[in-house]
């Protein structure tokens, strides 16, 4: 089974079993909803500990969570530096022209003229739109904004992206 990161537990919060999570998802309300089951992967574990979310609230830049059966700080202290992941079969369908990061990473990028520019190696979330880091086999990285003006076609099955190269984009 494949698992996908939705957050990292960076610390505990208070004494009542709350953990501070750095979110790695665009859907925190959905992923951290009360009753949701997630896999908790400790740094040295091969298999996840399955946890069920008992409470969720936001505090500053963090998601604060408690898990059923873990009522105090001593129960959750060993979870520091662990990752919370969702199983592939629990992923929901996205709207048109929206993609999960794991679908985009590794895609080959081509210009509309057919020139291969490299592979998508990183996705930067800037607020206005995502920016895709494209790494060629030789040379420096390119940063491609995910906008309708630039990205003309995304074929997840073929792991191929076609972009319109406008002046200054690849410099």
Say what the pTM is. Answer: 0.68
Query: Strands 116-125 and 62-67: what pairing?
Result: unpaired
Q: Which helix (H) or strand (E) holds 30?
A: helix 28-31
Q: What is the pLDDT of residues 43-73, one digit of tens each?
A: 988 899 999 999 999 999 899 999 999 999 9
- CATH number for the domain running over 3-94: 2.40.30.60
| CATH code matching the domain that covers 101-163, chosen among 2.30.30.240, 3.40.220.10, 3.30.420.40, 2.130.10.10 | 2.30.30.240
Q: What is the pLDDT of residues 91-129, one digit of tens each?
A: 777 777 788 888 898 999 999 999 999 999 998 877 788
Residue extent(s) of CATH 2.40.30.60 domains in the chain: 3-94
Residue extent(s) of CATH 2.30.30.240 domains in the chain: 101-163
What DSSP letter does each residue of 46-100 carry, written as one string? SSPEEEEEEEEEEETTEEEEEETT--SHHHHGGGTT-EEEEEGGGPPPPPTT---
d(CA 134, CA 56) in angstroms, rounded, equals 36
């Amino acid at each position: 089974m494949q698992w996908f990161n939705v957050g990292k537990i960076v610390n505990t919060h208070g004494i009542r079993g709350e953990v501070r999570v750095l979110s790695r998802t665009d859907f925190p309300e959905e992923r951290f909803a009360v009753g949701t089951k997630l896999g908790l992967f400790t740094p040295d574990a091969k298999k996840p500990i399955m946890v069920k979310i008992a409470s969720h609230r936001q505090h500053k830049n963090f998601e604060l969570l408690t898990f059923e059966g873990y009522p105090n700080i001593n129960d959750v202290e060993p979870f520091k530096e662990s990752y919370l992941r969702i199983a592939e079969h629990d992923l929901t369908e996205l709207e048109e022209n929206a993609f999960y990061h794991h679908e985009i990473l590794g895609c080959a990028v081509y210009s509309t003229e057919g020139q291969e520019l490299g592979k998508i190696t990183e996705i930067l979330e800037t607020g206005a739109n995502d920016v895709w880091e494209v790494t060629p086999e030789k040379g420096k990285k390119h940063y491609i904004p995910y906008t309708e003006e630039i990205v003309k076609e995304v074929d997840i099955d073929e792991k191929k992206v076609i972009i319109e190269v406008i002046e200054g984009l690849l410099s």
